């Protein structure tokens, strides 16, 4: 470590308008948690809320809670809590199921909207693999074919056969931020529909789904949104697409009259059309409670701090780690960077195990990537400096 | 009420070997809870376990819990807890997603196994509607067609075009128990595959999935299994079908090497193949904890008590309610009865609202059904007698 960088960290922390948010989370001062892009930390107030949900809402009110405790409307209500964080209008986001299941809904609905003469789905070849696997199934079941391309090859591959494009806003491995406004405009100019996966961007940077006219989006809630392990994912359907949103999973929760128990399926209006079966209330209400930490937080301030944190971490790594031991695979340009820094490194698996044992928790992605996620609501500049110090001690 | 029936109830409760299980649940002595077939009551020990899951496993161990707290393997581990309750072999049940999503997986996989020359799916026309809606989508996406039939018409409708048959073990509305062994044998003799929905039978009566060679089954866990509101559903795939189980939802959790992040999908072996995305851990571990109430309980004893309870309730209704005010739509024969009694009744919605206000909680199913579910682990004979007394006071 260097005296100068430690002092710089202290100054940056002192000037950080989001620094007080760290108190809202259950964190151990001895640990630098840089894995919030895998599992967000626990907001301190969630256990008490969940005790109430379990002991009173389930235990005492039982079946009455579907109405009296607002369980039935939770998927849309929580969707409306997430909407402003991703720049979506009220009534366009619904919470439920996993990201994989939502990719299936969105992609099948997108190709159906695109029409039968468009038979190609472009998929981000660098994607988190589940999106690619599920896209293959969506293509197989709708009579389309898949082309896997790097995001920067996609725009030139668009054509009259393109039905839909599935792409990640931020690449899970490298942390590269793809240009959502430009790609969405190009996809739509070609007559296709844009389906964005926001898992690694929502809660870390402005997304602007509405402003950029995105057709569909999906994302998880257990990373930067801190919803808890495996908390339910969400689906965004642009308002004007909703009346023609033709889901492959028409469960009873999406019916216009669910308790009518009618034999014919008639979808409801709005975001509810993205629902499927009975929502997993405990996971869902933990997420709802966790979202309280966003009260009064501007996502632009989060983005500014995120970039400052990753810049500073890279500066510390550059200063502390001898040349050649690690190299960043995360883009330098702010416009191309999410909220993580990925360093390729020899013996990365072993390095990350040791770092974790020393209290710097990131994760390892095969074959050689050390991944450090910076959650602006609870990671500070001194944390970044300490992480670089420990890394240098290990690989220096 | 009658002195004789009240005494009979007391005697039956005194002789009930399962009576002590009621103490395991958070129940109010002033309330007769006959809605466990909609939402099972809270086992008393679950809140403390969930506090530990949330505050320690998530809050303190964070990302380490995926391995150290056994989160990653929860879907198969909890599947193996459910397996003996439905007569399934270890390694054939996996927990996750909603019943609707699991119907989609099972039905698509079944028609794929049946082969391309079989283009018809028979669906229980009296089914809980979500199964029918999802079956329509499965048919549409696999190029099959749907025929909706009453369960007793299905066997005679089987033929060389039948790919799969989706049927409920117990009808949600009437409480009719369909003959799983006989129907499964007939379906398979016709060269088709049997997909059973166990939502209203699992935890209330022996199912015998293995003994009767059922191909696929799905079910929820929040009714007689008391897993909590919207707790995850399960999928059963018969062992010899597993290597050819071709899922329409090939999420990364079902990959043979999920953390390999490989671009090509290669399914894992066994029950894991039914997984999709990241499991909803909080809901899932509440279910796991709730299953502790089954330790040492034989499902045959549960069935015996269930039949005794529904018999006795019908006896009390017959004795107390003036003729013509209600009529049972639940079969009299034990072989055709699940664990509920459904009474058709004028103004049933209003009657159920008033009954609930008086502490007898069942539910109303349109247009005219009062539904009373009898959960043998926590409902007693005096409860049944009181429910009939209150009903008689209202409609008498």
A46 in contact with B at a CB cutoff of 8 Å? yes
Exactly one of B33, B104, B216, B222 is catalytic; which is it? B222
Nearest chain B residue to A51 by CA distance is B47
Write out B106-166 in H/E/C secondary structure.
HHHHHHHHHCCCCCEEEEECCCCHHHHHHHHHHHHHHCCEEEEECHHHHHHHCCCCEEEEE
A 294-353 residues inside an 8 A Cβ radius of B: none
pLDDT tens-digit map of B258-276: 998 888 999 999 999 999 9
R_g of chain B, CA atoms, integer Å:
22
Distances (CA, A) of A304 to A199, A375, B38: 19, 12, 48
Exactly one of B104, B128, B313, B378 is catalytic; which is it? B128
Partners of A193 in beta bridges: A164
What three-state secondary structure class fits A396?
coil
- Mean pLDDT rounded to a whole number for chain B: 97
User: Per-residue pLDDT averaged across B160-179, rounded?
Assistant: 97
Helix axes A281-290, A74-82, angle to 10 degrees: 30
Residue among B137, B220, B252 minimizing CB distance to A133: B252
| Cβ(A229)–Cβ(A208) below 8 Å | no
pLDDT tens-digit map of B195-253: 999 999 999 999 999 999 999 999 999 999 999 999 999 999 999 999 999 999 999 99
Query: Confidence class of residue B396 from pLDDT cuts 50, 70 and 90?
Result: confident
Residue among A39, A134, A259 minimizing CB distance to B62: A39
What's the CATH fold of domain B49-294? 3.40.640
C-alpha dihedral (B25, A230, B80, B17), degrees to nearest 10: 0
Q: How high is the pLDDT of residue B298?
A: 97
pLDDT tens-digit map of B288-346: 999 999 999 999 999 999 999 999 999 999 999 999 999 999 999 999 999 999 999 99
Do the chains contact at A228 and B281, CB–CB below 8 Å?
A: yes
Residue A323 zone, left/alpha/beta (φ > 0; ψ -120 to 50; rest): beta
Distances (CA, A) of B101 to A97, A105, A253, A392, B233: 9, 11, 12, 48, 9
In chain A, where does the domain assigned CATH 3.40.640.10 lie? 49-294
Partners of B235 in beta bridges: B94, B218
Does residue B181 have a pLDDT over 70? Answer: yes
User: Per-residue pLDDT averaged across B167-182, rounded?
Assistant: 96
Distance to chain A for B79, nearest Cα, Å: 17
CB atoms within 10 A of CB A17: 11
| Cβ(A105)–Cβ(B101) below 8 Å | no
Distances (CA, A) of B69 to A4, A50, B58, B65, B308: 41, 19, 9, 4, 41
User: Count of alpha carbons within 13 Å of A142, Cβ hemisphere only?
Assistant: 32
Nearest chain B residue to A137 by CA distance is B248
Give every residue of chain A whose pLDDT is below 50, as ranges.
none
| Cβ(B109)–Cβ(B216) below 8 Å | yes
DSSP A190: T
Query: Confidence class of residue B1 from pLDDT cuts 50, 70 and 90?
Result: low
CA A290, chain centre distance (Å): 15
- Residue A103's nearest CA partner among A187, A236, A218 is A218
The rounded distance, in Å, linking the Cα atoms of A113 and A107 is 10
Tokens of B330: 């639940």
Q: How high is the pLDDT of residue A1?
A: 67
Q: How high is the pLDDT of residue A122?
A: 97
Q: Is domain B3-30+298-395 given the CATH code 3.90.1150.10 in the classification?
A: yes
What three-state secondary structure class fits B378?
coil
Instruction: Give CA angle at A257 (A231, B374), nearest 5°.
Output: 75
Do the chains contact at B130 and A220, CB–CB below 8 Å?
A: no
The rounded distance, in Å, linking the Cα atoms of B278 and A370 is 22
Chain A residues closer than 8 Å to B133 by CB: 250-252, 255, 265
CA B386, chain centre distance (Å): 26
pLDDT tens-digit map of A312-367: 999 999 999 999 999 999 999 999 999 999 999 999 999 999 999 999 999 999 89
What three-state secondary structure class fits B344?
strand
Partners of B364 in beta bridges: B370
The rounded distance, in Å, linking the Cα atoms of B197 and B219 is 6
Nearest chain A residue to B42 by CA distance is A59
The rounded distance, in Å, linking the Cα atoms of A95 and A78 is 7
Beta carbons within 8 Å of A290's beta carbon, 6+ residues apart: A40, A42, A43, A46, A225, A226, A227, A228, A231
Tokens of B288: 């796991």
Distance to chain B for A4, nearest Cα, Å: 32
pLDDT tens-digit map of B49-77: 999 999 999 999 999 999 999 999 999 99
| Cβ(B204)–Cβ(B302) below 8 Å | yes
In chain A, where does the domain assigned CATH 3.90.1150.10 lie? 3-30+298-395
């Amino acid at each position: 470590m260097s005296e100068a960088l430690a002092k710089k960290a202290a100054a940056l922390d002192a000037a950080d308008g989001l620094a007080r948010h760290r108190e809202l989370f259950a964190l151990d001062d001895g640990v630098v948690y840089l894995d919030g892009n895998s599992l967000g930390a626990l907001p301190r107030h969630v256990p008490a809320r969940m005790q109430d949900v379990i002991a009173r809402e389930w235990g005492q009110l039982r079946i009455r809670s579907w109405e009296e405790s607002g369980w039935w409307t939770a998927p849309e209500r929580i969707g409306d809590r997430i909407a402003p964080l991703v720049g979506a209008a009220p009534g366009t986001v619904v919470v439920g199921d996993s990201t994989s299941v939502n990719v299936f809904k969105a992609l099948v609905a997108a190709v159906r909207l695109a029409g039968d003469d468009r038979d190609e789905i472009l998929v981000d070849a660098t994607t988190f693999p589940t999106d690619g696997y599920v896209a293959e199934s969506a293509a197989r079941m709708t009579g389309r074919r898949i082309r896997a391309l790097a995001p920067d090859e996609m725009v030139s591959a668009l054509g009259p056969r393109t039905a839909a494009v599935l792409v990640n806003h931020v690449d899970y491995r490298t942390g590269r931020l793809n240009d959502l406004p430009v790609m969405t405009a190009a996809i739509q100019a070609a007559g296709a529909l844009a389906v964005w996966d926001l898992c690694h961007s929502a809660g870390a940077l402005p997304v602007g789904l509405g402003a950029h006219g995105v057709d569909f989006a999906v994302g998880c809630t257990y990373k930067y949104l801190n919803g808890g392990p495996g908390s339910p994912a969400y689906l965004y359907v642009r308002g004007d697409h909703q009346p023609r949103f033709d889901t492959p999973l028409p469960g009873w929760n999406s019916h216009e009259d669910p308790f009518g128990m009618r034999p014919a399926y008639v979808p409801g209006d709005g975001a509810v059309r993205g629902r499927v079966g009975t929502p997993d209330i405990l996971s869902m209400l933990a997420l709802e409670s966790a979202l309280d930490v966003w009260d009064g937080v501007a996502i632009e301030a989060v983005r500014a701090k995120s970039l400052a944190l990753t810049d500073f971490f890279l500066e510390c790594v550059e200063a502390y780690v001898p040349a050649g031991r690690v190299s960043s695979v995360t883009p330098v340009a702010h416009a191309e960077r999410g909220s993580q820094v990925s360093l390729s490194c020899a013996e990365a698996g072993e390095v990350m195990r040791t770092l974790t044992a020393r209290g710097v928790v990131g994760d390892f992605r095969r074959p050689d990537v050390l991944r450090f996620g910076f959650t602006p609501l609870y990671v500070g500049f001194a944390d970044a400096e300490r992480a670089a110090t420990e890394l240098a001690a290990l690989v220096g």
